[in-house]
Homo-oligomer: A and B are copies of this chain.
């Protein structure tokens, strides 16, 4: 075997599914030297669709490709609930909006995972030289714990094995229709098998030394096993079949998302997809799991179709084209630890598994990586302190636990038999189901995530008591002088919640009057943002406050100058935006302090930093101040993290608190 030359890298990502690609995308935007490997020989071409939450679309938008998803995806607007009537015939009993109106500028959509991966790959090649290395398997992992806190060290050593094409192509059960059994929870993991096989064949190995590593290697995570971490929770008895077909049917709501409970034959969830496809999720009552053993050979597309036909009777259902199918058993588990030494991290299915019906899996997995990627990026680049890395576990483990609880409740309601009447206690009450569905919608949007107090989130609560007990609070070294930790003033912006993502409303660019969703400017490029709600600039006193705030920020020893490398642009670590509430036509852009529209010798003033909450010519009024819950006269200041979560809120005079907030997170620059 050939031994390739050893190479150091900032970040090694194991697994190139959506979570791994999300991590790689952050690495690309932060300019890291990262590698991403996957044992599979090709990306996903069929199946593996998931619903995309509003929040996932917002994140895609922050990377610049939500528009591609939005254009290609099927938009799901309404959920129709079908239940048996007195005679046992299914009837449409309710319609509810799929996405709660007003919570996001996006609504939930569905698109094939292969397309999502394509958009990530296109983004990677646009912004970096990072390429997915396919047919590459990690074989040995070694961590030098003594060097974990050394910023310059490469404490992780991984031996990689390059597979031949044969070994990297997953086994398919049928040659006609691709199936996803090889990724299903019903399939045994084949990693060890692949390692063993590849040893007897030609191939190459190489040894990589990395500063950081992320295991995005799925439910059977090889990385997790090397770390000796375990999953907590249970396997359920429910077996589910999934069928992607172009249906031929007279069922009237086939293009709606439907939850159909039959009287006696079980339940089906209908998920309309792009290109006339429809996905059916069906509980397979015929196939029983005896303990951990399921007879996989008993599951075929025909069995799944027959189950659906029975549930949806008297409506007819058949198909000419089947795109993909799979089957799975629900496991509901969360990893006990999410990181080792804050050097090796686990994300996605590697630390939480659950049922796919609520369309959460891909979303939560991607959002794990989204939470983590910028933190590693800023630490590697010498901008942020290593202490921020602890917040990955404190923030995401609670989300995973919430997800399992949601899935547990939802699966039970969905899988159960409908109650015949109020006295039927063994049956599921359909009004309870509808209620759970509606409440679940907020969770399912991804917008209910609320991170606890930490060095990154200036909430009043004790950060040591938050989440899983990890102390993620400020280190108070030299910045507190007995005045306690920084606590933001939530009351200044009632709809901008510390710990939650910064919401988006329409504002106008002061310089050219163009309307924008403000979130369009909160790009995922690793920068913190200071958003100055400048209030009514036509009020002389308020204008003075704004200019005084600018003076403070512009001082040579301000937190902005202190944390920005002297060779970089002044907005490269912390970017400042202004949103004022005076009439656009009565304010002159250049009257504002220069720090709010920095000058460049070759490009002139920056015209994309100052916005106004005013009526647009063609898109109405965004009513941003009202929607954000900010006082139109006096305004306030908000700090948004690089992932758009709100870190701190304060008055224009609270510059010292901002200084303390950033001092805890960021390293001083020479």
Contacts and interface: CB of A to CB of B under 8 A. Distances in A.
Interface of A: 67, 71, 74-78, 95, 97-99, 101-102, 107, 246-250, 252, 254-256, 272, 276, 320-321, 509, 511-515, 585, 588-590, 601-604, 607, 616-618
A246 B606 CA distance: 12
Nearest to A104: B618
Contacts of A76: 512
Nearest to A76: B512
B512 A78 contact: yes
Contacts of A249: 604
A17 to B, nearest CB: 28
Which of A77, A246, A604 has the largest count of B CB atoms less than 10 A from its CB? A604
Contacts of A98: 617
A292 to B, nearest CB: 39
Q: What's the number of copies of this chain in the assembled complex?
A: 2
B246 A604 contact: yes
Contact of A321 (B77, B102, B246, B602): B602
Contact of A512 (B77, B99, B247): B77
A603 B76 CA distance: 20
A489 B591 CA distance: 57
Contacts of A616: 77
Contacts of A101: 617-618
B99 A511 contact: no
Contacts of A515: 77
Nearest to A70: B67
A248 B604 contact: yes
Which of A95, A246, A276, A590 has the largest count of B CB atoms less than 10 A from its CB? A276
A276 B71 contact: no
Contacts of A603: 246, 248, 276, 320-321
A99 B618 contact: yes
Top 8 A-B residue pairs of the complex, sorted by shortest distance between their CB atoms: A255-B512, A77-B513, A248-B604, A255-B511, A320-B602, A97-B617, A78-B513, A75-B514
Contacts of A97: 617-618
A252 B590 contact: yes
A252 B588 contact: yes
20 contacts: A77-B512, A78-B512, A78-B513, A97-B617, A97-B618, A98-B617, A102-B618, A246-B603, A246-B604, A248-B602, A248-B603, A248-B604, A249-B604, A252-B589, A254-B607, A255-B511, A256-B513, A276-B603, A320-B603, A321-B603
Given A603-B246, A604-B247, A617 B99 contact: yes
